[in-house]
Amino acid sequence: MLNRNTSDIYVVWTGFISADDFRNTMPRDVSARGGAGEEYAVNDIKTIGLIAHDARKRDLLDWLRFNVEKLAPHRMVCTGTTGRLVEEMFSEEFPAFSPDITRLKSGPLGGDQQMGALIAEGKLDVLIFLTDPMTTQPHDVDIKALVRLCAVYNVVIACNRATADFVVSSTLFDKPYDTVLHNYTAYLEREALENVMEG
């Protein structure tokens, strides 16, 4: 049971959990992606992040409906409103399925940063982020940060429905997969050296 006095509890009674409790439910160690240049295993059961801008939420739900049997065995992590819509869709239209769905905060209220933290900690395997290219978003910086983190940590990302279709239909989607992180050692050592020189 969650401690309601914890400062980062997100309305437990509507399906939100604390960031710490969510991280503790994940199968891989926080340091799974910590080693530069190291391989790490992506399990056959994936943890999939789902985000959609308001103009693309209908597209995301349609995509989920089309791929429901493929996606239901996997864990899903959604930002606020998207998560509510996904939960409602499964309970109303697909009651036979009971996927593991976790809701974070709304994107503009910190949900994008929470998703980014999961990427950096090795807790997310795939990010489906259907963006609206025609509308300026108030949290555009957070959106760019998510795309950048996926590149840094070699996480699969789809920003449109066609790419999402290719991802979910890949023969690798339901299998374990070994991926390799880029080796950032030289960058980290350079940064440490610059800090010493400036100090």
Instruction: Decide the pairing of beta strands 100-103 and 39-42.
Output: unpaired
Range list of β-strands (E), 45-196: 47-52, 75-78, 100-103, 126-130, 156-158, 177-180
Find the catalytic residue in 112, 140, 142, 178.
112
CB atoms within 10 A of CB 104: 27
* Tokens matching residue 95: 């009651």
Residue 104 neighbours by CB under 8 Å, 6+ apart: 10, 16, 19, 22, 77, 78, 79, 80, 83, 110, 111, 114, 115
Active site residue 8: no
Q: How far is CA 81 from CA 1, 71, 110, 163, in A?
A: 24, 19, 13, 23
Task: Compute the distance between CA of residue 62 and CA of residue 151 in angstroms, rounded to an integer.
Answer: 27
Catalytic residues: 112
